[in-house]
Structure 1
Amino acid sequence: MASETPSSLSTDAFGDTLLRIARNAIGERFAFPAQAVADFAELREAAATFVTLTQQGQLRGCIGSLEAHRPLARDVAANAIAAAFQDPRFRPLGKDEFVRTRVEVSLLTPAEPFPVRDEADALARLRPLVDGLILSYRGRRATFLPQVWESLRAPGDFLAQLKLKAGLPADFWHADVVLARYAVRKWHEAAR
């Protein structure tokens, strides 16, 4: 999947389609009628996405794929269902709260290795508001989307919280830590 929307596509129409796919997938569980979805060839190409659900600006679920392994439309639908009903941090979404839940879809670029000499090098080279980051260490792995920079502006805070998410101490560093970074294009519904 290309990291940029081809110029022949309307970014708004493409993003609206991804949002509708996500909302339709969740709404189907509650027997809500599906919204019409435009047909873009890109929907059939393998892509990695995250679907984030919020209520009044607070996280309500977020699940995604780090590697492209299924068609974009299927990835968005599957991640929407998982964010609504399988995020272990939250109880399953209820029908009554679905109508006030805001949907966001993030389309990831392929992750690229981000080799660093040490933690100081990583902190110096991280790009706030641009980089999504994957941290791996001996079977542990965690990621933060670039959107997380909105609440963790300092690279030190961003990396420390990512280590905690991976089950590591905030001040942990080891030569075997592996980092990869990616960017996203994102679309979100208007506040509900």
Structure 2
Amino acid sequence: MPVSSYISLSREAQAELKQLVWQVLDKAVEDRTMLQPAPPTSPALLIPRACFVTLYADKQLRGCIGTYAAEKSLWQNVCDYSYYSACEDCRFEPLQKRELPNLSFEISVLSALQPLANKGERALLDQLQIGIDGLLLKDSYYSAIFLPSVWHSLKTAEEFVNALKIKAGWPEDYWREDIKIFRFETFVIEGSQKTFVP
């Protein structure tokens, strides 16, 4: 099934995804196992799409893991990365049941990656749409990705690209003509315990 670059999810599809996330998280905090729920009914959720799932406890980052590869259907990727964000983000302890009442999340559904010609770092900085573009940089065995939500804390293109290079393990002044550049956008679905209806 081909990957579409345009993202459009109905309210019904979004509601199904949110419910799937809560099912996975409830099981994860209960016994640390990954639940694979029954497939959803919305056809849009069956299309292969990349995504990231970001968890917040009391509005503080609690986990964020995802993929830029659209090898699985959207609902399967959302379920997988909900579990990984809750239990396998090495920056945090596994999510606890007591945290669920104050937990919220974002599902960032990625558009298709748009390759950009590497015409130098200055050209990249001039092309970036601040607050809109996500960015993936790849060089040999190293790569790093920032979602568009990172613009909330990094306000300029220079800060954004420099921080992404550091994330990849490169110095801020690093640049090579064979770095591969990909731009993308996201469709963000927000969920909180208040809106969850089991």
TM-score under structure 2 length normalisation: 0.86
Structure 2 alignment gaps of length 5 or more: 32-36
Question: What CA deviation, in whole Å up to 9, does each residue of 1:62-106 have, x standing for no partner?
Answer: 111101111111110000000110111111111111221111101
Contact 1:16–1:187 at 8 Å: present in 2 too? Answer: no
- Deviation, structure 1 residue 23: 1.8
Q: Please identify, of 112-121 and 73-82, the stretch whose mean Cα deviation from structure 2 is larger.
A: 112-121
Say if 2:16 is the partner of 1:4: no
Contact 1:84–1:93 at 8 Å: present in 2 too? Answer: yes
Q: After TM superposition, list the pairs within 5 Å mapping 1:1-192 onto structure 2.
A: 1-2=3-4, 3-5=6-8, 10=10, 12-31=11-30, 39-190=41-192
TM-score under structure 1 length normalisation: 0.89
Identity rate of aligned residues, in percent? 31
Question: What CA deviation, in whole Å up to 9, does each residue of 1:128-150 have, x standing for no partner?
Answer: 11111001112101100011111
Q: Which amino acid aligns with 1:26?
A: L
Question: What CA deviation, in whole Å up to 9, does each residue of 1:93-123 have, x standing for no partner?
Answer: 1111122111110111111111131111110
Q: Alignment partner of 2:102: what SS?
A: coil
Q: Which amino acid aligns with 2:97?
A: K
Query: RMSD of the TM alignment (CA)?
Result: 2.2
Match of 2:34 in 1: none
Contact 1:50–1:106 at 8 Å: present in 2 too? Answer: yes
CA distance in 2, matches of 1:190, 1:81: 16
